[in-house]
Amino acid sequence: MSGAARPVAVVTGASRGIGRAVALRLAERWDIVATARTQSALDSLAKEIEAKGGKCRAVVADLADDASVTKALTGVEADVLVNNAGVGTLKPLVEMTRAEWREMIDVNLNALYTVTHALLPGMIARKRGFVVVIGSLAGRNPFAGGTAYTATKHGVIGFAESLMLEVREHNVRVATIMPGSSTVAPSGTS
């Protein structure tokens, strides 16, 4: 690695699954700020990245908590933001608790706003950046047992498409990646 500063990529939900894979891949060219709720998994990711010559700052954050996000991302100048964190509790609406509903709204939608809102002004000011949103094919294809999950993923698509229109004149790009159902865990976080 040369002495020149490398660009910074923030990856949410980086402790496992898609987020971990994205962080490992991006670490070849970017310094990583990896966020998730599990310190041990983030530490493992950071060690793996650093063993390959990269740089990773592991930041434990509850993305459903605005204060946690602010603390985690204050001072971070991201060139790339990968909004990956997500929760998928898949069950019929009549079996879903209010807490499960709220968790999906908070992590899948509200955290998307909070994290992007924290990092986007810097991208706009620097006239460069790339916001990647990991959505799901469920955002276009509803299914039984996916009432809340599908609703959030529809929202993710609308958020990303509208954001793209708002920031393109500032040379900030926005993309949505929509993995298929094989990446959706029956219950838990991704």
Residue positions annotated with a catalytic role: 149
Cα-Cα-Cα-Cα torsion 91, 93, 98, 100, nearest 10 degrees, comes to 20
Find out whether 149 and 86 touch, Cβ atoms under 8 Å.
no
Find out whether 140 and 97 touch, Cβ atoms under 8 Å.
no
Q: Are strands 31-36 and 56-60 parallel, antiparallel or unpaired?
A: parallel
CA angle 25, 27, 32 (to 5 degrees): 120
Cα-Cα-Cα-Cα torsion 125, 129, 134, 137, nearest 10 degrees, comes to 100
- Amino acid present at 39: Q
E strand segments, 8-69: 8-12, 31-36, 56-60
Q: Take residue 46 and report the two structure tokens written for it.
A: 């950071």
